[in-house]
Amino acid sequence: MPTIGIDAIALAVPEGYVELAELAEARGVPPSKYVEGLGVSQMAVAQAHEDAVALAANAARRLFLQARIDPSNVGMVIAGSETAVDHSKPIAAYLHGILGLPSRCRSYETKHACFGGTAGLMTALDWIASGSARGRVALMMCTDVARYALKSAGEPTQGAGAVAMIVSENPRMLALEPGISGSYSRDVHDFWRPLYSKEAMVDGHYSVQCYLDALAGAYSAWSEASREAGYHRDSIVRRCYHVPYGKMAKKAHRHLMSIEGKTEEQADASYKEQVATSLKLPSQVGNIYTGSLYMALASLLEYEAADLEGKRIGLFSYGSGCTAEYFAGRVMPGAGLFVKQQKLAEPLAERRKYTIPEYEAIRGADYDVDRRPVEQLQVNGAVAFLGVENERRVYTA
Ligand code: CAA
């Protein structure tokens, strides 16, 4: 079987963010609760024109440019999202048009809360492994705008952003292991978003427990599959987790290490070595739902790819509701140089800070956004949602 995996990654984030220390002060909470207690320092805030389609299109355009991908070779585009813009027309269809993808291309959207992106990734992997791709590549998108009610406990765990990935044979970043993964599912009400609401509902502390239970279940299934395939669990040198907020990844790692029979001190020591780097970019963006695990992977590769070439890393994806998967991959030889050329973190450096009143005004404008008439915007060449005309969403070309 050829090597199959993640060939290239690119990120897109909204043009602005808030400092969580400032949000904490505005909410009458000690800043250390958000920054240290939750492990997030900045939170991306999407304006009305930065919807899930626009963010995804900007990430994909950057991917094509930076990694020199020929769009005519894309045979499948899947968009994972839990903040879709339409009940029927998928984000992937908009992307197909905006990006000029070929008509011989399968296109659809996947949903299972934050797991939607991983569902697509696994499908892309199997599509290539089965031979159906016939040399073509899959464009895998994760795109979301995470919103909770203002002044709620979930407010500091919002964010917005997209991750675009190419899944292909002979990948330049991370070889995945088709067929070796561990799944876990259970019907729970930990986090959900009713059809009438733009804001998620959550049973916060229960959701943390559901995440940890799912991690234990998926990890045990993966360990069995991995053992049967002749891999050793201790060959994993780094671990990326779904990151709703940084502290959750720390809790997850402690839990996984306790399953491995390690003490809390041993877990915290290995957290510094195995997990901390993957949280650097997420701590500046917040929760991007489907893309959170893959932003953690991008963060790890951005800072450590050169040292990790040939090494195996573990990945945990969690989607509330709930479903989860544990899987692993090996960093490709040459990934260090390739990742450096990609400038993965560049979009984060180009942002501006919003004041808390600016952030609240942006959120206030959110509610009517899906009926807003088309308006012309100055967006510096980025793809933007311009408004609705004749019941159709209109984007910059
Ligand atoms: N200084 C430092 N730390 C402080 C502090 C201070 N002054 N005050 C409190 N803390 C610490 C607390 O000790 C706690 O740490 P531990 O968890 O290690 O004990 C941490 O800060 C958070 O404090 P609380 O638990 O009191 O916070 P909260 O109840 O206000 O809200 C939350 C926390 C439940 C996670 C809430 O932010 C929330 O509901 N978030 C959305 C749900 C979520 O993200 N769930 C994650 C699992 S589900 C999932 O992963 C899917 C998804 O993407 C949504």
Catalytic residue among 15, 242, 304, 322: 242
Q: Known catalytic residue: 114? A: yes
Assign 1 a pLDDT band (cuts: 50, 70, 90).
Answer: confident
Of all protein residues, the one whose alpha carbon is nearest to atom 19 of ligand 1 is 37
Catalytic residue among 114, 142, 240, 322: 114
pLDDT tens for 202-234 read 999 999 999 999 999 999 999 999 999 998 777
What is the distance between the alpha carbons of residues 21 and 330, in angstroms, rounded to a whole number?
Answer: 37
Type of residue at 163? V
Q: From ligand 1's centre to the CA of 190, what distance in Å?
A: 14
Q: Write the CB contacts of 213 (distance below 8 Å, at least 6 apart in sequence).
A: 186
Look at the pTM and tell me if it is higher than 0.85: yes
Q: Which pLDDT value is given to residue 369?
A: 85
Assign 36 a pLDDT band (cuts: 50, 70, 90).
Answer: very high
Q: E-strand spans in 158-307?
A: 159-169, 174-185, 191-192, 201-202, 236-241
Q: Residue 126 pLDDT > 90, yes or no?
A: yes
Catalytic residue among 15, 19, 50, 82: 82
Type of residue at 333? P
Q: Whole-number mean pLDDT of the chain? A: 96
Q: From ligand 1's centre to the CA of 352, what distance in Å?
A: 26
Q: Which pLDDT value is given to residue 164?
A: 98
What is the distance between the alpha carbons of residues 57 and 35, in angstroms, rounded to a whole number?
Answer: 31
Q: Which pLDDT value is given to residue 377?
A: 85
Q: Is 36 in the pocket of ligand 1 (CB under 6 A)?
A: yes
Residue that the structure tokens 């949280």 belong to: 279
155 CA closest ligand 1 atom index: 37
Q: Is 259 in the pocket of ligand 1 (CB under 6 A)?
A: no
Q: Is 191 in the pocket of ligand 1 (CB under 6 A)?
A: yes
pLDDT tens for 321-348 read 999 999 999 999 999 999 999 999 999 9
Q: Is 248 in the pocket of ligand 1 (CB under 6 A)?
A: yes
Assign 381 a pLDDT band (cuts: 50, 70, 90).
Answer: confident
Q: Which pLDDT value is given to residue 346?
A: 98
29 CA closest ligand 1 atom index: 7
Of all protein residues, the one whose alpha carbon is nearest to atom 18 of ligand 1 is 37
**In Å, what is the CA distance from 104 to each residue of 71, 107, 128, 152, 300?**
12, 10, 16, 46, 34
Q: Is 157 in the pocket of ligand 1 (CB under 6 A)?
A: yes
pLDDT tens for 353-378 read 999 999 999 998 877 788 999 988 87
244 CA closest ligand 1 atom index: 53
What is the distance between the alpha carbons of residues 56 and 210, in angstroms, rounded to a whole number?
Answer: 28
Q: From ligand 1's centre to the CA of 37, what distance in Å?
A: 7
Q: Which pLDDT value is given to residue 35?
A: 98
Which structural domains are found in the chain, ordered by start? 4-395 (3.40.47.10)
Q: Is 202 in the pocket of ligand 1 (CB under 6 A)?
A: yes
Q: What is the CA radius of gyration of the chain?
A: 20
Mean pLDDT of 55-66: 98
Q: Known catalytic residue: 82? A: yes
Task: Please give the structure tokens belonging to residue 91.
Answer: 């984000």
Longest dimension (CA), the chain: 61
Q: Which pLDDT value is given to residue 28?
A: 98
